[in-house]
């Protein structure tokens, strides 16, 4: 069953939203890594590595090592993107006690009582909430293009828990079509 088309069955059941990763990241990174590795290896293989560093022999040799290092860097990025493509990470969990987001810095939990406002800005859902110990506000941005779920389903689940948090505006500022159709 496709998770992005499924209706939420029960509010007690958590809505787990995974990341949506396109295969272009690892395809481009791995192909560029192979190309840079080939050119870097060719520069070292032609026998131009200097016996003593001299001005006339140094440029190709000095150029080849950074290319090999950069190709290794791109290869590692490609492997990381491949891992994200094969096993998408959990981005958001919406359950009875609040919203949890996961990013590079770890999990951020916002209970329903702490969320003050939600609004849509561009292709993002912005949740504003109370800061810890009553100091200021904190916000969470959810990019719709990174989520493997229809944005309307996420907005419906938030509205089911807190009807006062229906994102404003549901229409973009330019007056175009809404990116979200909420029933």
CB-CB neighbours of 102 under 10 Å:
15
The secondary element (H helix, E strand) that includes residue 155 is helix 151-161
Torsional class of 108: left (φ above 0), alpha (ψ -120 to 50), beta (otherwise) = beta
Per residue in 143-183, pLDDT (tens digit) is 887 788 888 888 888 888 888 877 765 544 455 555 555 44
Q: Which CATH architecture has domain 15-20+90-165?
A: Roll (2.30)
Domain positions in the chain: 15-20+90-165, 24-86
At residue 137, the pLDDT reads 67
CB proximity list for 64: less than 8 A, separation 6 or greater: 39, 40, 41, 42, 43, 44
Per residue in 58-79, pLDDT (tens digit) is 566 677 888 899 999 999 999 9
The model carries a pTM of 0.61
At residue 55, the pLDDT reads 47
At residue 69, the pLDDT reads 93
Whether residue 67 contacts residue 36, with contact meaning beta carbons closer than 8 Å, is answered with: yes
At residue 73, the pLDDT reads 95
């Amino acid at each position: 069953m496709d998770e992005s088309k499924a209706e939420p069955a029960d509010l007690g059941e958590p809505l787990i939203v995974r990341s949506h990763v396109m295969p272009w990241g690892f395809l481009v990174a791995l192909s560029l890594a192979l190309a840079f590795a080939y050119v870097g290896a060719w520069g070292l293989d032609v026998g131009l590595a200097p016996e003593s560093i001299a001005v006339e022999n140094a440029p190709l040799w000095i150029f080849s090592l950074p290319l090999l290092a950069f190709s290794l860097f791109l290869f590692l990025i490609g492997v990381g993107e491949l891992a994200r493509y094969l096993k998408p990470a959990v981005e958001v969990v919406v359950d009875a006690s609040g919203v949890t987001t996961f990013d590079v810095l770890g999990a951020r939990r916002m209970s329903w009582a702490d969320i003050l406002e939600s609004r849509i800005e561009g292709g993002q859902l912005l949740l504003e909430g109370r800061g810890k110990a009553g100091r200021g506000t904190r916000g969470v941005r959810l990019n719709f293009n990174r989520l493997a779920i229809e944005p309307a389903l996420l907005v419906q689940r938030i509205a089911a828990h807190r009807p006062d948090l229906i994102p404003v505006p549901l229409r973009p500022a330019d007056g175009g079509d809404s990116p979200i159709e909420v029933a």
